[in-house]
């Protein structure tokens, strides 16, 4: 009996001594796994920011991030796959939704801490008792980044859309884009048949079936639309408007997580710079998250302006979209967009990036 007790004590002490070694092996395994993700399709490892020293100096910043299933999620996935979030000691839990409006709804319902959405989608959830706040611009379509494609020989000009069926992403900025086209080209919207969709795949299915006569298409699906007979009528210059995307959170989250949000903005800025400078490599790094060819992702990346900032022009666009939407009863409440902009953290992290005057 005494011998068994001694053996048990020996085994226990040995196990305790091995714990640090095993923990170190576990960390090395996770680091190796992340390093493997960071290799490009050619097999050559890209610059690995996860090997850099952790810059936060504090506890991990954990948050639930609601992202869309398209281009505006790219900086988040790039920061994750390239180890940039690790560098800033950020541990995001991603929730993927079809569109930006869904990410905002997730924040409103406290299912997520942070969302990202285009201007119209986000402002449609403001007013009343809304606690949402814009804290930074994150990405915006370039004027030539999205095209209006028609699949009917009878459509020669925008006015010809009357009596035709068009694909509409209801509740998103795409709905606002169509309204702008109707307004500026004197199109009777009651004579246009909207085909409401809940995903890009659903929209492409309608194009393939021949049910849709027109669609706004970005770089990720333009080639597919062209192959199906789509002919470009122009791009966002038709309406002199290109959507801009913003990061949204609630007031209480800002109060309780200022330092962590500052770190996150730095991480997203680093990811944005990398995407802008290396779209091909960035596409390879995030391709696995979307299941579409990396060349399509690269085209989409080149059609987007990625940045972390808040300019006077950003505020003016939000203000213009808000006022037009209120006037045309596309939003429920009447409000001043400036009451929903909080730039304190962005101004502290990147003071030169804030030219909005608030």
pLDDT digits (tens, 9 = 90+) for 103-154: 999 999 999 999 998 999 899 999 999 999 999 999 999 999 899 999 999 9
Q: Which two tokens stand for residue 215?
A: 């669609």
CA distance 131 to 17: 51
8's tokens: 């048990």
Nearest to 108 by CA among 135, 134, 126: 126
Taking only Cα atoms into account, the Rg of the chain, rounded to an integer number of angstroms, comes to 24
Side-chain-side CA neighbours of 352 within 13 Å: the count stands at 0
Tokens of residue 25, six digits:
């092996």
> What distance lies between CA 246 and its chain's CA centroid?
8
Angle between helices 74-81 and 294-302 (to 10 degrees): 120
The confidence score (pLDDT) of residue 54 equals 63
Which letter does DSSP use for residue 192 in this model? Answer: S
Among 339, 322, 321, which Cα is nearest to 130's? 339
Instruction: Reply yes or no on whether the pLDDT at 342 is more than 60.
Output: yes
Report the SS3 class of residue 344: helix
CB neighbours (10 Å) of residue 188? 11
Residue 49 neighbours by CB distance under 10 Å: 19
**Distance separating alpha carbons of residues 93 and 134, to the nearest angstrom:** 20
* pLDDT tens digits, one per residue of 23-71: 333 323 333 334 344 433 333 333 344 435 566 557 899 999 999 988 8
Global pTM value: 0.79
Residue 297 three-state SS: helix
For β-strands 114-118 and 193-196, DSSP reports them as unpaired
Q: Does 20 have pLDDT greater than 50?
A: no
**Using CA atoms in the order 230, 223, 288, 101, what is the torsion angle rounded to 10 degrees?**
-40
Confidence band of 198 (pLDDT split at 50, 70, 90) = confident
Q: Give the pLDDT confidence of 170-185 residue by residue, as tens digits.
A: 888 899 999 999 999 9
Mean pLDDT of the chain: 85
Q: Quick check: 36 and 67 in contact, CB under 8 A? A: no
In DSSP terms, 117 is beta-bridged to 246
- Distance in angstroms (rounded) separating the CA atoms of residues 138 and 309: 7
SS3 127: coil
259: confidence class by pLDDT, cuts 50, 70, 90? very high
pLDDT tens per residue across span 155-173? 999 999 999 999 999 888 8
Residues 6+ apart with CB under 8 A from 71: 139, 218, 220, 300, 301, 303, 304
Check whether 328 has a pLDDT greater than 90: no
Tokens of 271: 């990811």
Inter-residue contact 321 to 119 (CB < 8 Å): yes
């Amino acid at each position: 009996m005494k011998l068994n007790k001694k053996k048990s004590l020996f085994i226990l002490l040995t196990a305790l001594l091995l714990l640090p070694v095993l923990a170190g092996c576990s960390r090395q395994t996770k680091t190796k796994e992340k390093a493997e993700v960071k290799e490009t399709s050619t097999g050559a490892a890209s610059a690995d920011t996860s090997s850099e020293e952790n810059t936060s100096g504090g506890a991990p910043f954990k948050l639930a991030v609601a992202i869309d299933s398209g281009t505006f999620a790219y900086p988040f996935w790039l920061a994750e796959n390239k180890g940039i979030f690790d560098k800033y000691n950020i541990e995001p839990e991603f929730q993927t939704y079809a569109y930006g409006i869904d990410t905002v709804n997730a924040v409103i319902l406290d299912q997520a801490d942070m969302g990202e959405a285009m201007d119209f989608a986000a402002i449609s959830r403001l007013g009343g008792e809304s606690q949402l706040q814009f804290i930074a611009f994150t990405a915006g379509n370039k004027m030539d980044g999205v095209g209006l494609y028609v699949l009917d020989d009878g459509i020669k000009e925008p006015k010809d859309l009357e009596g035709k069926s068009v694909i509409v992403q209801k509740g998103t900025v795409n709905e606002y884009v169509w309204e702008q086209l109707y307004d500026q080209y004197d199109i009777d919207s009651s004579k246009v048949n909207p085909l409401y969709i809940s995903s890009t795949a659903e929209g492409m299915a309608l194009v393939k079936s021949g049910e849709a006569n027109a669609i706004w298409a970005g770089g990720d699906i333009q080639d597919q639309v062209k192959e199906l007979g789509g002919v470009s009528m122009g791009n966002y210059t038709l309406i002199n408007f290109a959507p801009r995307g913003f990061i949204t959170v609630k007031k209480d989250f800002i109060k309780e997580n200022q330092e962590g949000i500052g770190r996150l903005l730095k991480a997203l800025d680093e990811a944005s710079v990398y995407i802008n400078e290396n779209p091909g490599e960035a596409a390879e790094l995030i391709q696995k998250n979307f299941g579409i060819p990396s060349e399509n992702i690269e085209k989409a990346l080149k059609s987007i302006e990625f940045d972390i900032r808040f300019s006077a022009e950003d505020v003016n666009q939000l203000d213009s979209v808000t006022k037009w939407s209120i006037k045309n009863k596309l939003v429920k409440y009447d409000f001043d967009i400036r009451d929903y902009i909080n730039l304190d953290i962005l101004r502290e992290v990147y003071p030169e990036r804030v030219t909005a005057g608030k």
